[in-house]
Structure 1
Amino acid sequence: MNMALDKPYKDVPGTTIFDAEQSRKGYWLNQFCMSLMKAENRARFKADERAYLDEWPMTEEQKQAVLARDLNRCIALGGNIYFLAKIGATDGKSFQQMAGSMTGMTEEEYRNMMIHGGRSPDGNRYTREWEDR
């Protein structure tokens, strides 16, 4: 058994680990995000998002996820949250607002949850714990 291919973390519910496989899958998505660090690229993206995205060899699914601002889908498609944060910053959103949108909570609900210690680990350690639900 090749331990490098063993991914026990795949059993963590609601969690996508940014590993080498995800990095390869999301390379161009993440490069697009990093391009948004330059003001001229942010302006071009905001002027015509689709045209700017079409300059990048991303998959259509990745482009659609960006256009929809579906950050959870972007992560599933190889996006790294620290790169994806550049999209939020381009839109004038805080990291906290972005994280809240990914949980289905309002910014205030998300902030309060985090202030009070985050989500309970009970029932959230392994997907097999969900079998009884």
Structure 2
Amino acid sequence: MNTRGTLRFRQLPGLFAVCKLPASAPVPDCGGPFLSVTRTQDEVSLVCAQDFAPEIAEVEKGWICFQLQGPFPFTMTGVLSSLLTPLAEASIPIFALSTYDTDYVLIKQEQREKAVSALIAAGHELLL
């Protein structure tokens, strides 16, 4: 099964931060309605509400988050590429996350209008 046609996405409220901690660091309690944690042998990466970003981390602030309307079966291909190709063609950098049910794409706040225009032009739908 592959992606064809319209993907629906919505913008989560608020601003987000992408944070980096040493691999040995405990995961801080970041609170907030959204938190993604990835631990590797090299680092701990967090994505959280900007207001909850830990002070001890290397932090990149000013992201907004688009949530794709899922869930998507694991057999479906092309979900992210369908969304990321128009963003790449518009020269918009992204940070992508996936969960069991869906995908999230973060872009810098100042790129929002350009990103939404590119996604709508590609046939995708912004849910309000």
More strand by share: 2
More helix by share: 1
Fold shared per TM-score above 0.5: no
TM tier, smaller = under 0.3
| TM-score, normalising length: structure 1 | 0.24
What is the TM-score of this pair, normalised by structure 2? 0.25
Greater RCO between the two (CA within 8 Å, min separation 6)?
2
